């Protein structure tokens, strides 16, 4: 009976979303609640915990593809996460590497022409993880369908700092004086040096687990994003939770600061 009611509710939500007007062109997700989900279900091994979370990605990509969402960004590892116990960090990195290696050869990824890219302070990652990232990026580099961006070893403040540094370095190499370099710093110049340069800002940012904060995710790009905070943990994120987020986005009037 419960599964029947769930399916009926899912169909109703899907219908409302189809009739609800334009949806987001770029969805960003903060994948939170893996450990708490594991604890609730008696899963203690960090590798098993984060493997559950990685497995959810396939469903979310299916849901986004069904709505023709052209850009999806996932925050899978923050720079702050490196301060966690080594077994947790190892579990996260193992899940990231395994998932990216699988995506590189996934028929659905190639059928949908999904281009995979990674952003963040990638130099902090072990070579084994970097190899998986390179394999996924190289296998999908020519695709022009959905863009799947994986934020790994990512921090929003670090992104802005790195962008300013890159901008000033470019100015110095061009022979600009200090005054000229300072004069050349504006929002467009900084934007062009961000990890996400060339990508549209996210229309909708979804965070799972019930935490109501961004924790530094896409600080620059989220200035006019709509936020949706779901109470469910990431591995338990359902299609109805996703559709609720899309419906909530459609019901809002975006002002872009006006």
Which residues participate in catalysis according to the annotation? Answer: 32, 81
State how beta strands 26-30 and 115-119 pair: unpaired
Q: Which residues contact 165 (CB under 8 A, 6 or more apart)?
A: none
Angle at 214 between CA 150 and CA 75, to 5 degrees: 10
State how beta strands 26-30 and 204-207 pair: parallel
Q: In a 3-state reduction of DSSP, which class is residue 223?
A: coil
Q: Which residues contact 159 (CB under 8 A, 6 or more apart)?
A: 119, 120, 194, 195, 196, 219, 220
Crossing angle, helix 86-104 and helix 127-140, to 10 degrees? Answer: 20
CA 103 to centroid of chain Cα atoms: 15
Angle at 50 between CA 6 and CA 33, to 5 degrees: 60
């Amino acid at each position: 009976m419960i599964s029947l009611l769930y399916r009926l509710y899912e169909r109703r939500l899907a219908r409302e979303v189809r009739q609800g007007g334009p949806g987001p062109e770029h969805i960003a997700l903060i994948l939170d609640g893996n450990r708490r989900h594991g604890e609730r279900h008696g899963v203690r091994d960090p590798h098993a915990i984060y493997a559950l979370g990685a497995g959810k990605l396939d469903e979310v990509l299916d849901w986004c593809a069904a709505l023709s969402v052209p850009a999806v960004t996932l925050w899978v590892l923050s720079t702050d996460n490196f301060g966690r116990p080594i077994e947790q960090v190892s579990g996260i990195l193992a899940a990231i590497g395994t998932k990216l290696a699988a995506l590189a050869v996934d028929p659905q990824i190639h059928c949908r022409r999904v281009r995979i890219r990674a952003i963040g302070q990638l130099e902090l990652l072990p070579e084994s993880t970097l190899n998986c990232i390179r394999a996924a990026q190289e296998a999908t580099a020519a695709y022009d369908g959905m863009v799947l961006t994986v934020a790994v070893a990512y921090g929003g403040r670090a992104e802005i700092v790195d962008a300013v540094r890159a901008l000033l370095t470019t100015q110095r190499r061009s022979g600009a004086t200090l005054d000229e370099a300072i004069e050349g710093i504006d929002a467009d110049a900084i934007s062009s040096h961000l990890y996400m340069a060339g990508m549209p800002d996210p229309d909708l940012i979804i965070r799972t687990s019930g935490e109501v904060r961004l924790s530094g995710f896409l600080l620059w790009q989220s200035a006019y994003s709509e936020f949706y905070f779901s109470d469910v943990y990431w591995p338990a994120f359902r299609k109805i939770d996703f559709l609720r987020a899309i419906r909530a986005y459609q019901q809002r009037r975006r002002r872009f600061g006006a």
